[in-house]
Amino acid sequence: MTKAVSKPVSNPLSQEAREALRKAFGSRVQFDVPLAPWSAARLGGPADALLEVPSVKDLGSTAMWLWEHDMPFRVLGGGSNVLIADEGVDGVVLLNRAREARFFEVKGQPAVWAASGASFGALARRAVAKGLDGLTWAIGIPGTVGGAVVGNAGAFGGDVATSLLWADVLFPNGRVVRLDARGLGLGYRTSALKTGWLSGVVLAAAFRLHPADPEKLKARVAEINEQRRRSQPPGASLGSIFKNPPGEYAGRLIEMAGLKGTRAGGVMISPQHANFFINLGNGTAMDYAHLMCLVRRTVWQRLGVLLEPEIQLIGRWPEDVLSCLFDPLPVEPPALLLGGVAPPPEE
C-alpha cells in the first residue's frame, strides 16, 4: 500500500487577527499574497498577511506589536536561502526593506553598519569601492545582512563570524541586545537564531574592515566573479541546498551519487554544480523537496554520508517532508516524494 504524505499542519490567522492588523496598519497590510515574487527561486505559496517594513525603526516597532498581540510572524529578506511551502505561510510575513548603511570607525579602524534588510553583496561592493577589505569575500552573495547573520553566510574563505563586530537583536521583552559572533552562537552556516535557541529579530549589524591596495582588491573581485561564473549556474535558484560535510563538498557527493541533471517536475539538479537546484520556470517548492529527499537518501545509501540542508523550509510543510529532510537518522521517504523524479539524461 502506498503511504500518503501527511497534510501540513496549518494555523492560519483568524478573522479577528486580520481585523486587528487592518486597524493597526491600514492599507500597508496585504492578505493572502503569493510569496513567489520575493523568493530567489520564484516559488512559494501565499502569506496570511504581508507587511513591508522600510526602516530599522519600523521593523522593530512592527515586530513588537506582533509579539504583544501574540501573532506569529517571520522576517523575509532576499528570499535566497529559504524554501517557502506551496501551501503558504501561517501568520504575518515582514518584508524587510530596511536598507540604511553607513561607514564609521572603531578605535581608528574602518567599519560599516547596515540595517538588516540591506543587500549583503551590495554592502561588500560599497566597501571595495572605498578601498576597504574585510567583506570582499561576500561580493556576489545574494540576500540581506540579516539573513547573512542568521545563516552565518560565507564564501571564498570568509564568513560572517570572522567579519562581524556585532549585531543588534530585538527580543520579545523589548530589549535590543548587541551580540558578537559568540553571543549569536555562529557556527558553520548556522546560529542560535537559526536553530531557535534565541528568539529575536536582527535589526542591524556592523562589520570590521581594513584599508587595502585598490588594485589588489580589484584583482580579487575579478577572481571571485570569475570563480562564481565558472562554478555557479545561472537561473532561479536558492543557492547551496546542502551544507558541506567536514572535509568534503556536498556538490561533489551529489555528483558521485550520479544525480547531476536529475529532475522533479520543473526543478533540476544543475548539471554545472550539483548542490544548486534550478527552477526551470514551472517548478514548485514540493519539486525542490522531492529532489532534496532523493539526494539525501541516495547519498546516504551509496556513499554513507548524511547531508544536512543549508536552506530553511518555512510555511505549511507536511511532517513527512520535514522528517525526511531533517531527521538525524535516515528515514524511508514518503512514497509520494519519490514519484515524478526523472533520472539525469544520458551523456
Is 78 found in the same domain as 35? yes
Quick one: pLDDT at residue 256? 96
Burial class (CB in 10 A: 0-12, 13-18, 19+), 162: middle
Does the annotation count 199 as an active-site position? no
Quick one: pLDDT at residue 236? 78
For residues 3 and 104, which has the higher predicted lDDT (pLDDT)? Answer: 104
Query: Is residue 242 assigned to a domain?
Result: no
Quick one: pLDDT at residue 336? 43
Phi, psi of 26 (to 5 degrees): 55, -135
Please state the rounded mean pLDDT for residues 6-25. 86
User: What is the number of alpha carbons within 13 Å of residue 24 lying toward its C-beta?
Assistant: 17
Is 209 found in the same domain as 130? yes
pLDDT above 50: residue 175: yes
| pLDDT tier for residue 8 given thresholds of 50, 70 and 90 | low
Quick one: pLDDT at residue 339? 46
Cell digits of residue 91? 501568520
Does the annotation count 310 as an active-site position? yes
| pLDDT tier for residue 232 given thresholds of 50, 70 and 90 | confident
Query: Is residue 59 assigned to a domain?
Result: yes
Query: Is residue 206 assigned to a domain?
Result: yes
Phi, psi of 168 (to 5 degrees): -90, 120
Is 139 found in the same domain as 89? no
Cell digits of residue 345? 539524461
Is 190 found in the same domain as 141? yes
Its domain, for residue 23, covers 15-96
How many domains is the chain partitioned into structurally? 2
Cβ atoms of residues 75 and 201 within 8 Å: yes
Quick one: pLDDT at residue 239? 86
Q: What is the pLDDT of residues 148-161, one digit of tens each?
A: 999 999 988 899 99
2-6, 83-87, 166-170, 280-284 — which is least confidently predicted? 2-6
Q: What is the pLDDT of residues 43-57, one digit of tens each?
A: 999 999 999 999 999
* C-alpha to C-alpha distance for 114 and 203, rounded to whole angstroms: 9
pLDDT above 80: residue 82: yes
* C-alpha to C-alpha distance for 49 and 38, rounded to whole angstroms: 14
List the one residue out of 109, 123, 132 whose CA is nearest residue 153: 123
Q: What is the mean pLDDT of the chain?
A: 91
Residue 34's CB: how many other CB atoms inside 10 A?
15
Quick one: pLDDT at residue 139? 93
Rg from Cα positions in the chain: 21
Does the annotation count 189 as an active-site position? yes
| Strand order through the sheet with 176-179 | 101-106, 109-115, 201-208, 164-170, 176-179
Query: Is residue 108 assigned to a domain?
Result: yes
Query: Is residue 287 assigned to a domain?
Result: no
pLDDT above 50: residue 141: yes
Q: Which of 119, 191, 310, 316 is catalytic?
A: 310
Is 128 found in the same domain as 74? no
Q: What is the pLDDT of residues 236-267, one digit of tens each?
A: 788 899 999 999 999 999 999 999 999 999 99
* C-alpha to C-alpha distance for 31 and 18, rounded to whole angstroms: 8
* C-alpha to C-alpha distance for 152 and 81, rounded to whole angstroms: 11
Domain boundary among 198, 215, 232: 215
CATH no. for residue 169? 3.30.465.10
Domain boundary among 215, 231, 253: 215
Quick one: pLDDT at residue 140? 86
pLDDT above 90: residue 334: no
| pLDDT tier for residue 344 given thresholds of 50, 70 and 90 | low
Query: Is residue 85 assigned to a domain?
Result: yes
Alpha helices per DSSP H over the chain: 15-25, 56-68, 120-129, 145-151, 160-163, 192-195, 214-231, 250-256, 285-303, 319-326
Q: Which of 240, 270, 297, 316 is catalytic?
A: 240
Please state the rounded mean pLDDT for residues 212-225. 93
Q: Which of 39, 80, 189, 270 is catalytic?
A: 189
Domain boundary among 215, 245, 267: 215
Query: Is residue 335 assigned to a domain?
Result: no
Is 105 found in the same domain as 80? no
What are the angstrom distances between the C-alpha of 98 and each of 128, 165, 333, 338?
22, 19, 40, 40
Cβ atoms of residues 324 and 331 within 8 Å: yes
CATH no. for residue 39? 3.30.43.10
Task: List the Cα angle 127/128/133 in 5-degree steps.
Answer: 80
Query: Is residue 19 assigned to a domain?
Result: yes
